[in-house]
Amino acid sequence: MNLAQDILKKNRTFAIVGVSQDTTKYGHEIFETLLEYGYTAIPVNPKYSLVDGVPCYPSLKALPEKPDVVVAAVPPVVTESVVQSCASLGIRIVWMPPGAWSEKAVEICQAYGITEVHDICLVASLHLQP
C-alpha cells in the first residue's frame, strides 16, 4: 500500500486549508469528496464562516480539535506557511496536492518530522480506494 492510501485508511479527520464556496474550485471538490467518503472534513478559510452549512474556521490555530491530516489547497507559497503552522501546532501529516506544493514546503515537513504527501491528487486517491 502506498503512503497516500495508508493515510486515507488510517485517518478520519481532514482540515482543508483554502477550501472555497465556489463549487468549481479544487478545494471545494476535496471537501465534498472527503464528506462523500465518510470522512470528517473541516473547512479552513478566513473568507467564510460556513461552507455548505459546515462551520469554516479562519486558521488552523482556530480549530476546536487537531485534525489528523491537513490538506493544503492553496498556492505553494501559502502552503509553506501552512506547513509551519502544522509544525507549531503538532499536526503530523500534511497533504499537498498538485499545484499546491513546493520543494521548500517538502523540506519544512522533513525538518519537522511531518509526514507529507505531495503532487498526488487526494480526490483521485479517494476514488482508487479499495
What residue type is 14 in one-letter code?
Answer: F
What tens-digit pLDDT sequence spans the chain (130 residues)? Answer: 699 999 999 999 999 999 999 999 999 999 999 999 999 999 999 999 999 999 999 999 999 999 999 999 999 999 999 999 999 999 999 999 999 999 999 999 999 999 999 999 999 999 987 7
Q: Which superfamily does 3-128 belong to?
A: NAD(P)-binding Rossmann-like Domain (3.40.50.720)
- Give the global pTM: 0.96
5-9 own/partner pairs: CB under 8 Å, 24+ apart: 5/125, 5/128, 5/129, 7/69, 7/93, 7/95, 7/115, 7/117, 8/125, 8/126, 8/129, 9/129
